[in-house]
Each structure stands twice: as C-alpha cells, then as structure tokens.
C-alpha cells in the first residue's frame, strides 16, 4: 500500500473559482520479460521493488505470465499488484509452452469496466486491455509483429476512446521506431507523452525506443507532460520502464506547469561577442522543452540572446503533426532574420525530420550526405559560405554504428578548400572510440568539461563543435571563447557556443622576419659609405685585370 505520508499524484485541483476538470496522473509502462532478466535469471522481486518505488497511478505491464504451473508464482500480475497495493487486470495475447502470456493493467482503483482485444500476428500476437475508471480510461497494449494488426489496434483504441468520452491514456509496446508507419498512424490521433527518440530497449544497452505512453487527442481534453524518464533496468528485464507524469484538463482549462521556475526568464550573462564568428550547436528536441511542451519560442529567444553567426540544429521537424505542422527551422530563421537550410533524415508521417543550419549569410552551396545507420537514418548537412564550410550532424545513440559515419565525415572535410567546421549531438563522451577517431583529423573547439545533457542537471558532454585540421590552408581558427549556455528549460540539451577568428597561420612568422630584416637595414649614411667602398673595390679589380693582361 502507499505510505500514509505520500499523496497520490492523481489529485483533483480544487478551486472554488474554477471547477473544470484538471488532474495529475503518473503512468508507467514496463515489459517484464515474464519476470526474468535478458539472460533468464528470476528477477521478479527486483522488478516489483522498482515498480513500487515509482508509485505510479497506472502501470501497464507487457510480457506477463499467468498460470505458469510454478507454485510460487501462479499469476505474476496479481503478485505484483498485491505487493504494490494495487488492483490487477490481465489479458492474454497467446500461450507459450502451456503458459498464458499477455499484458496487465495495475491501478490504484478498481475499474468500472474492462475490454480485451486480441490481434493476430505472425510470431508475436498482440493484445489491447482497456480499463475504464471514474476519471480516466487506460489502455495497456502489446502490438503484434504484423502491420495490419497494429493498424487495427490503433483503430480499436480510437473507437473506444471516442465512445467513453473521457481522458484516454495508453501505455505499452508499439513495436515501431520514429518515422515508421505504425508510429505515424498512431500520432494522427494520439499525442506521444515520452520522448520517442529516447531509447529504452534492450535494457542492457538501449538502442531504440520501443515503449510509449500516449494520450488521445480528442474528447475535448488536453494533456501536458510534466516529467518523463527512462528508468535504468540493467539486469532486470529486456526493456527499461518508461515513466511519465502528465497534467490532464478539459479544453477550457488554463493548463500550465505548476513549477515556479519553468518559464522564468534566464538570468545568466551572455558573453559579448568578440572579433570573429560565433558558432552554436543546439539540439531542439523537435521544438519541445525539458517538460515536453512545444516551446519553439523560448528556443528561438535563446538563440537571439547569444546572437550567433551560425546555428547547427538537431532533431528538427518540418511539417510534422506532433509539432503543429510547421517548418521549425524556417520559423526560427524568419524570427531571427537568418537563412535556414534543412537536411532531411527521415520521413515522419506527412512531414520530415532531420538537422538544419541557420546562418546570417546565405549559403553559396549545400550538400546532404546520408550516413549509414541501422537503427535510424542519419544525415550530414554541409553548407558552403564565402569564408568557410559549416556542417551539422546528429550521430546515432548506438555507439557501435559510429565507425562508417566518421569516415564519411572525414572524407567530406578533406575535400574542403576552406576552413571546415562541424558540430552537433554526437551521443558519445570524451575518451570514447568516436571522439578518439574524430580528433585524429579534427580539433574539438569546446572543452570536454562543458556538460550539456540533460539540460536541467547536466552530467554528460555529448554536444560538440569542431574544426578540421587542414594545415594547407593559410587561415586557421583560433578560439576566443567557448561556453555551454546556462539554459535548463528550452530543450533537453543545453546549447554549446564557441567564438573564433580565422587568422593567417604565417602571420606571426612573417611579422618576425619583417622585424628582423628591418633591424638589419643600414642607415642612410652607412648606405653611402658602402656604395663608395664598393666602387673603389671595383676600380682596383679592373686595374689588376689590365695589369695581368699586359704581363700575358
């Protein structure tokens, strides 16, 4: 049961002057792998402790076993619910070795009604379990491995959500990655509450996002994520749990975060731009801030405040449903008086997703190079300007896939006949194989002590700006200032900023030689004496030659 000193996060906001619907809810989804770790060890007791620790109002469990024949665990869902002081409902997707395996929905209150839908698959069957409660409807899902079954499941949830006419939450395994057909179809009517690019599977080395929490966008209600987190479950299961806290209200309610400093203006001081150029790298999380609210305005104001000459943007949407069908880079450029160049990486529904470069100067040339990647398509965007090249990329969160992209980046930079700068979210830390390979040809301009992620309390340096070491060029970059912006809210990454000048690498040598030559030059009188001596010497030589001719 809940401790008496803890209050449920699902608490009605009572306000005599405003009695509209408004509630907070904590939702968790967790694929428990039948109570075992990825290598088959029994970890059910540790999984129960983890679920109890997060104290969610609703927990959607996948890959749950029932009637296993083991005396100690006949019903995993009931066992977990009893230990956490919750109610449990179960729906089987199929059977495996005589065991029922499916999904479970745990809740603090008993549901008024339960609906179960089984969906055909090839090797993996699917199931949707919907519980209807006083204030919410919640679906625990595990979709099948065929696209037709996934589309059918989404249609079923849409129909049930409209029929119930109340806030409808969903949590579970959708079996797709951002840009896939299933997720694109899902986002037509549901809002994803967790960051769909934050990996949670496999648990021991997360490479992709497989678990999602969502909210039905109809029925006259709206939802705002106030917290979302992937919970570390190394050694406990094959999936990491995803936890989301959200505020749900009716359409008429003024829904805003109750966090005092969420929208507080930044108070940090921006260094005055030195002589030369200012370069910024900023992962904007498709326009969503640290709390997953669409906040492109704040991100734009951060850029305006720093006044960079070039901005390298990652995780940029273009005409995507989830970000209001806007051209994010184009909107930012118009507001800042800059030029926008977009680099398409993947299709996302009817829109596109990728990287972008904002610049004061219009590019005179643009090149887009697809980078090899198995988990998610990536791209290198190169813009040519009058005095330099500026490139942006967002490398994979799977560190095993960095080798080929780095080779392509180095080859592209080697072709440049001007200074070549690159930056972005590289998803790796100083001292890694990636950074070791990069620094063979590039100089990192920002310090590895500049932590940029996560924005609210940075612990990692994964955002970089770098310059290609082309010693044949007359002009080389010299860093004047480098800093991570003290911006905790605008995105889940903090911007990285560098000021630099392009200086002639021979300027110092030429200056020293000129000074030395100037010191060696004789004075005017000395020059006259030298000239007279030379003439006298020449006359003596001429006389000697004539005398030698007479003797001969």
Express each pLDDT in 483-520 by its tens digit. 999 999 999 999 999 999 888 765 554 455 455 555 55
Domain-located, residue 373 = yes
Residue range 181-196, pLDDT digits in tens:
888 889 888 988 888 7
Q: Cis ω on the peptide bond leading into residue 244 (within 30° of 0)?
A: no
- Mark whether 216 and 311 lie in a shared domain: no
Question: 253-266, pLDDT tens digit by residue?
Answer: 665 544 334 444 55
Task: Please tell me whether residues 346 and 231 are part of one structural domain.
Answer: no
pLDDT of residue 226: 73
Mind listing the pLDDT tens digit for each residue in 262-319?
A: 444 556 788 888 778 999 999 999 998 887 778 899 999 999 999 999 999 999 999 9
User: What is the pLDDT at residue 411?
Assistant: 93
For residues 410, 412, 414, 419, the Cα torsion angle rounded to the nearest 10 degrees is -100
For residues 58 and 158, state if they share a domain.
yes
Last residue of a domain, one of 250, 267, 294: 250
Band (pLDDT 50/70/90 cuts) for residue 550 is low
473: number of Cβ within 10 Å: 18
Q: Same domain, yes or no, for 80 and 133?
A: yes
What is the pLDDT at residue 528?
Answer: 57
My answer on whether 468 and 482 are in the same domain is yes
- pLDDT value at residue 257: 43
- How high is the pLDDT of residue 153? 93
For residues 108 and 329, what is the distance between their CA atoms, to the nearest angstrom?
A: 44
SS3 content of the chain, % helix, strand, coil (to 5): 25, 35, 40
pLDDT number for residue 10: 41
Alpha-carbon distances, residue 205 vs 158, 212, 285, 480 (angstroms): 33, 18, 22, 38
Q: Is the pLDDT of residue 7 over 60?
A: no
Residue 138 domain boundaries:
25-250
Q: How many domains is the chain partitioned into structurally?
A: 3
Q: Are 227 and 237 in contact (CB under 8 A)?
A: no
Segment 366-379 mean pLDDT: 88
What is the rounded average pLDDT for all residues in the chain? 84
- Reading the block at residue 491, the tokens are 């995105």
Question: DSSP per residue over 376-434, as a string?
Answer: S-EEEEEEE-SS-EEEEE---S-GGG-HHHHHHHHHHHHT-SS-EEEEEE----TTSHH
Average confidence (pLDDT) over 404-427: 92
Residues 105, 243: one domain?
A: yes
Signed CA dihedral, 507, 508, 509, 511: sign only: positive
Residue 543, pLDDT score: 67
**CATH at residue 481:** 3.60.10.10
User: Are both 203 and 325 inside the same structural domain?
Assistant: no
Q: Does residue 133 belong to any structural domain of this protein?
A: yes
Give CA 494 to chain center in angstroms.
11
pLDDT in tens, 432-482: 888 899 999 999 999 877 899 989 889 999 999 999 998 878 778 888 999
Q: Is 348 inside any structural domain?
A: yes
For residues 353 and 441, membership in a common domain is answered with yes
Residue 454 shares a structural domain with residue 377: yes
| Percent of the chain residues topping a pLDDT of 90 | 51
Q: How far is 62 from 103, CA to CA, in rounded Å?
A: 4
> Is residue 545 one of the residues assigned to a domain?
no
Q: Is residue 548 one of the residues assigned to a domain? A: no
19 pLDDT tier (thresholds 50, 70, 90): low
194 and 51 belong to one structural domain: yes
Q: Does residue 258 belong to any structural domain of this protein? A: no
**Average pLDDT over every residue of 237-259:** 77
Q: What digits encode the pLDDT tens for the residues 514-543?
A: 555 555 545 445 555 666 666 766 776 666
User: How high is the pLDDT of residue 69?
Assistant: 52
* pLDDT tens-digit map of 60-90: 999 999 875 554 557 899 999 999 999 999 9
Domain shared by 495 and 520, yes or no: no
Per DSSP, the three-state class of 538 is: helix
User: For residues 317 and 349, is the Cβ–Cβ distance under 8 A?
Assistant: no
Residue 115 counted as domain residue: yes
Domain boundary among 214, 233, 250: 250
Residues 238 and 35 sit within 8 Å (Cβ to Cβ): no
In 10 A of CB 255, how many CB atoms? 17
Q: Is residue 296 part of a domain?
A: yes
**468 and 386: one domain?**
yes
């Amino acid at each position: 049961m809940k401790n008496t000193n803890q209050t449920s996060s699902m608490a009605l906001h009572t306000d005599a002057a405003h009695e509209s619907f408004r509630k907070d809810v904590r939702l968790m989804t967790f694929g428990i792998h039948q109570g075992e770790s990825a290598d088959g060890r029994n970890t059910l007791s540790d999984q129960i402790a983890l679920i109890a620790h997060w104290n969610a109002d609703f927990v959607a469990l996948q890959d749950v076993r029932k009637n296993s024949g083991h005396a100690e665990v006949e019903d995993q869902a009931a066992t977990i619910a009893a230990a956490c002081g919750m109610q449990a409902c179960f729906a089987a997707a199929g059977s495996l070795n005589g065991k029922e395996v499916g999904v479970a929905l745990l809740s603090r209150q008993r549901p008024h009604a339960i609906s179960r839908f089984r969906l055909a698959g090839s090797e993996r069957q699917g199931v949707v379990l919907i519980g209807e409660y006083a204030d919410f409807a919640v679906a625990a899902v595990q979709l099948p491995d065929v696209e037709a079954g996934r589309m059918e499941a989404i249609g079923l949830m849409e129909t049930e959500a409209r029929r119930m006419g109340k806030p409808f939450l969903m949590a579970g395994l959708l079996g797709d990655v951002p840009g896939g057909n299933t997720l694109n179809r899902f986002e037509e009517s549901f809002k994803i509450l967790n960051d769909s690019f934050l990996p949670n599977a496999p648990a021991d080395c997360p490479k992709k996002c497989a678990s999602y929490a969502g909210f039905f966008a109809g029925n006259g209600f709206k939802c705002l994520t106030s917290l979302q987190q992937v919970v570390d479950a190394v050694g406990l299961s094959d999936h990491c749990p995803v936890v989301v806290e959200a505020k749900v209200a009716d359409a008429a309610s003024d829904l805003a975060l109750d966090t005092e400093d969420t929208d507080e203006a930044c108070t940090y001081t921006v260094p005055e731009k030195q002589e030369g150029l200012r370069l910024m790298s900023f992962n904007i999380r498709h326009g969503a801030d640290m709390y997953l609210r669409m906040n492109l305005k704040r991100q734009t104001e951060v850029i305006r405040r720093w006044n960079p000459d070039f901005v390298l943007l990652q995780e940029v949407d273009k005409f995507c449903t989830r970000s209001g069908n806007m051209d994010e880079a184009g909107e930012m450029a118009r507001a800042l008086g800059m030029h926008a160049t977009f680099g398409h990486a993947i299709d996302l529904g009817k829109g596109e997703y990728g990287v972008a470069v904002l610049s004061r100067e219009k590019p005179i040339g643009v090149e887009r190079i697809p980078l090899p990647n198995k988990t998610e398509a990536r791209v290198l965007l190169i813009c040519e300007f009058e005095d330099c090249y500026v490139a942006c990329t967002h490398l994979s969160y799977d560190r095993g896939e960095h080798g080929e992209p780095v080779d392509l980046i180095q080859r592209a930079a080697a072709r440049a006949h001007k200074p070549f700068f690159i930056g972005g979210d590289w998803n790796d830390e100083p001292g890694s194989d990636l950074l070791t390979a990069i620094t063979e040809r590039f100089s990192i301009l920002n310090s590895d002590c500049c932590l940029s992620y996560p924005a609210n309390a940075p612990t990692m340096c994964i955002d970089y700006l770098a310059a290609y070491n082309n010693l044949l060029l007359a002009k080389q970059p010299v860093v004047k200032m480098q800093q991570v912006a003290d911006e905790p809210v605008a995105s889940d990454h903090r911007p990285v900023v560098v000021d630099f000048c392009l200086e002639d690498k021979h300027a110092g040598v030429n200056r020293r030689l000129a000074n030395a030559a100037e010191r060696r030059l004789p004075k005017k009188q000395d020059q006259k004496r030298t000239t007279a001596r030379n003439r006298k010497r020449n006359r003596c030589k001429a006389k000697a030659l004539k005398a030698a001719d007479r003797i001969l």
